[in-house]
Amino acid sequence: MPSRINYYWRILATGCCFACFGLGGFALSITILPLIRLMPASAERKAELSQYVVHHSFRLFIRLMCGCGVISVTIVNPEKLGNAGGHLIVANHPSLIDVILVISMLKKSACIVKQALWRNPFLRGVVSAAGYISNTESRAVIDESAAYIKDGGSLIVFPEGTRSVSGQPLKFQRGAANIALLAGKNIIPIIITCEPPSLRKNERWYNVPRASRMLFTVRVGETIDVAAFASETHSLAARRLTRFLENYYQQEIPKNEHFNTRDQNADYRVPGPRGYHP
């Protein structure tokens, strides 16, 4: 396809994909999710089932975006996630679809997402059914999140609190570190990059890159043992762990470059158990 036509196609396809996402979310909240709510099961079990439905829906959405030629995704070291139970999953946040990418990799997981989603008519049903936690600035959120992973759940947090600002060093909030330390559970880091950068903070969905589709690399890092950060006070440990995570991501983000296949036809590439190596 000539590049100009391809560019306009990608704008159109991106719009259609996001429209599908919103409508799909709404469709779920008036069909399957209410049925799950009516089931004679515990609240935890119902949230788990809803998470499973959301996982598959997001997987479908990512495949749709790949299929339309809007993005390609390379997943590296997915086996390091295991089932991620009882872990805090931490990821950097370069783009709008990061949370969708991460949830598409985890069958059962909750996520801390922005409060505004509970007022979004398309997604309100989804976030409440799946038991996601709202990012209000309060101690209760930290306690609730810590209890969740202590009970064996896996919880996704984006410590930046919002999408990254291009060209600026990463700034993490201490919430993620506080949750892991309070629960005494380890962190599995996920490193996300998007080349060319797009769907960033303050960018509109139709600002797709001119040159090519977006090539996402989503890499699972080695588990981080939080016990190593134990300090005299919780506050000190949280500060040290947060600083460690910031440095970790500054170092690891450029390494994703090695795994970027630059293969425009890669689609959704989940490599073998040893991971994809160029």
Partner 1 sequence: MQNKDDIYAELKNMLVEFFEIDEALISMDARLYEELDLDSIDAIDLVVKLQQKIGKQVSPEEFKTARKVGDVVNIVYDLIRQ
Chain residues that interact with partner 1, rule: CB under 8 A: 138-139, 142, 174, 178, 232-236, 238-239
In the bound state with partner 1, the residue whose beta carbon lies nearer, of 174 and 201, is 174
In the bound state with partner 1, the residue whose beta carbon lies nearer, of 144 and 267, is 144
In the bound state with partner 1, the residue whose beta carbon lies nearer, of 4 and 139, is 139
In the bound state with partner 1, the residue whose beta carbon lies nearer, of 225 and 232, is 232
- Report, in Å, the least distance between residue 161 CB and partner 1: 12
- Report, in Å, the least distance between residue 78 CB and partner 1: 33
- Report, in Å, the least distance between residue 207 CB and partner 1: 33
In the bound state with partner 1, the residue whose beta carbon lies nearer, of 130 and 187, is 187
- Report, in Å, the least distance between residue 236 CB and partner 1: 6
- Report, in Å, the least distance between residue 152 CB and partner 1: 23
DSSP per-residue string spanning the chain: --HHHHHHHHHHHHHHHHHHHHHHHHHHHHTHHHHHHHSSS-HHHHHHHHHHHHHHHHHHHHHHHHHTTSEEEEEE-GGGGTT-TT-EEEE---STTHHHHHHTT-SS-EEEE-GGGGG-TTTHHHHHHTT-EE--SSHHHHHHHHHHHHTT--EEE-TTSSPPPTTS-----SHHHHHHHHHT--EEEEEEEEES--S-TT--TT---SSS-EEEEEEE-PPB-GGGG--SSHHHHHHHHHHHHHHHHHHHHHHGGGG----TT--EE---TT----
